[in-house]
Structure 1
Amino acid sequence: MQRIDNSMTYTYTTMLDALYEIVHTYLYRGRLAAALRITQASQPMLDAEEVARRDRLKLLLLYGQLLVVDHLLGHGEPDLLFVIAQQAKESADELGDQLLIADALNLLGQTHYFATITQLLKSSQPVNSPQEEGKFADAFVYHQQALQLREVLNDTRGISQSHFEIGSIHERWGQNEQAVEHYRKASQIAEQYNYRYEKVEPARHLALHTLMQGDLDQALMYGQQALALREEAGFKPYLPLDHLLLRNIYLARGETANAQLHMQQATALAKEIGYPALVADVPDLRKL
């Protein structure tokens, strides 16, 4: 059996850490095509025996995150996303790191959730359905498992994320009280520990909830808060969705000038990040 060269492992770790930071930065800046191109090109390198398993898994999880964002914005086929998510879970199990296992479970939950959303949208079916119909059941199981692990590990950032993910499934099932309860838990934890990224989605979905309830003042407050938090977190890929949400809220309020302004901003941002069809593909944000 060939002996692993520790100096090579260290070199790979240094290089992959730098690669991770580059790809992560591209993701946040909305340069999805560049991030995907670099990550895909690096995959064969991860098979080198000198690459530490933890480094390989770290890149797999980031690749999965990229594919989730690309799938949500582009509504493409989810086959590769499923492959990468499953590989990440298997790698995490082999490594035995409970924190990374929880992250992989979360990725699997997101994969099943967004693949179901996209399939329903493409077939012109409503994305909200009663729990007994079984839609989103797999995603729910994965996110519950992730939450349980994260609670044991006291991973507060992960706990906040899992509460949001579980809340979004309750929302799809029409269980609004449970959804809001999880959104508020997610938001409270994110506020307590100042997790900027984790603050955003609970606010956005509370805006959607209050919009559907007809409370337009609350919807506007949460919608503006979500946009401000997203800008503060510096995550550009989902900014078009925040502007489209505000467009819908302003239309409901009869404020067409403000609605048009946010429509224009969403269109410009969608084009900038490489998804020009996004605005037309998402006519009603209550489907997300």
Structure 2
Amino acid sequence: MISKLIFIINLFYSGILLPQTVIKSNDDLQIHVSNFTETIIQISEYYYYNSQLNDADKILKPAIEITEQTGGKKYSAELLIQKAKINSINSFITNNSYEQSINDLNTAINYCKETNSTKLLGDAYNYLGFALYAQKYNQNLGTYEEALKYLNEAEQIRDEYKDLRGLAETYIYKGIVLERLGNNNEALELYSKANEICENNNFKLEQSYATRHIAFIKSYNKDFESALELFRKSLNLREEIGYKVYLPFSYLSVGNMYFELNRKNEAEEFYVKALTSALQNGAERVVVLCRMSLGDLYLSKNLYEKSLEEFTIALNISEKINFQRGINYSKEKINSLKKIQNQK
């Protein structure tokens, strides 16, 4: 499927494949480029939901070349933003570098300013804010304050244009950053605002995020029953819309709540689901999180050999992808388990 799409794109790019309508002016050309851009974004969004992130990248790269060639900077900006959004998520689940996504978004921001594409500029600021947040959270590069600065810019533009879906998304991202800064009450207020928008407008993807992060706040307050209900609601929404890319996180969070409630068999069931899904998606950072959760579960059952096996796998993957939190936690647990074994 991908190779066929790339073949069609290359034909279009080389001029061999021509539209049925003869292009007689630059205005005609821009209409065709606009339609082309919309189609590529829709296809890449399908791959994104289906966790085929590398496939999405493969069709976006040549598409950007086409729009660059035709002088459509606005359309190039749209594609660059889509590419950066998807690649930032890919980096989030694999612990790859965010540098290319950040560079793409800065280029898109310049194109938006040159073409007075203010609404699109809000999208670019939003995903730049997310990329900077994720880079800080996973790799300890940059600051949360810088991420928040761009999200504030995005909120202002999206509010001005009455972009309700966009506003809900930005509220969620801002809430996540505020969580990391320790402002849980402000974060909860933003998640609640986002959730209300989503419920009123049937924005199921964004609602899956809003309910998920309200659940985190509940879990911080030790209200694990309420958190479990919300995590399951978020999971159900993602399964309903086929949002496979983040299902491993959803399964993992449900498992964590069962673990906190001492329902360990159910916790293990969801940890295994999370691990299976993460392996299918090639999401190595999430695989580490699943392995560590299973390690903790087996440790709580005094299954020391199984626990050691999980933490050893987690450590090996963490070192491979340079995931420092995984390295530190796994090493700590492995050392503790070896001490237990030596005492026998």
C-alpha separation in 2, matches of 1:16 and 1:140: 29
Is 1:183 the counterpart of 2:191? The answer is yes
Matches within 5 A, 1:62-141: 62-120=82-140, 135-141=143-149
Give the residue type in structure 1 aligned to 2:132: H
Is 1:160 the counterpart of 2:162? The answer is no
Paired residue for 1:146?
Answer: 154
Give the residue type in structure 2 aligned to 1:222: L
Matches within 5 A, 1:131-280: 135-280=143-288
C-alpha deviation, 1:54, in angstroms: 2.6
The match for 1:27 among 35, 40, 48 is 48
Question: 1:192–1:216: structure 2 CA closer, same or farther, 3 Å change rule?
Answer: same
- Give the number of the structure whose alpha-carbon radius of gyration is greater: 2
Give the residue type in structure 1 aligned to 2:260: A
Question: 1:98–1:173: structure 2 CA closer, same or farther, 3 Å change rule?
Answer: same
TM-score, normalised relative to structure 1? 0.87
Contact 2:74 2:117 in 1 (8 A): no
C-alpha deviation, 1:18, in angstroms: 2.1
Give the residue type in structure 2 aligned to 1:45: I
Is 1:12 the counterpart of 2:20? The answer is no
The number of equivalent residue pairs is 270
Contact 1:32 1:274 in 2 (8 A): no
C-alpha separation in 2, matches of 1:148 and 1:207: 27
SS of 1:77's equivalent in the other structure is coil
Contact 2:76 2:108 in 1 (8 A): no
Aligned-pair identity (%): 24
Structure having the larger proportion of residues in helix? 2
The match for 1:59 among 79, 83, 102 is 79
Please, which runs of 5 or more residues in structure 2 have no aligned partner? 1-23, 294-324, 326-344
C-alpha deviation, 1:99, in angstroms: 1.1
C-alpha deviation, 1:170, in angstroms: 1.3
C-alpha separation in 2, matches of 1:224 and 1:94: 44
CA deviations 1:215-234 (Å, max 9, x no partner) are 11111111101101112232
Contact 2:93 2:283 in 1 (8 A): yes
Which protein, 1 or 2, shows the higher relative CO under an 8 Å CA cutoff with sep ≥ 6?
A: 1
Question: 1:114–1:4: structure 2 CA closer, same or farther, 3 Å change rule?
Answer: farther
Please, which runs of 5 or more residues in structure 1 have no aligned partner? 124-133
C-alpha separation in 2, matches of 1:13 and 1:201: 30
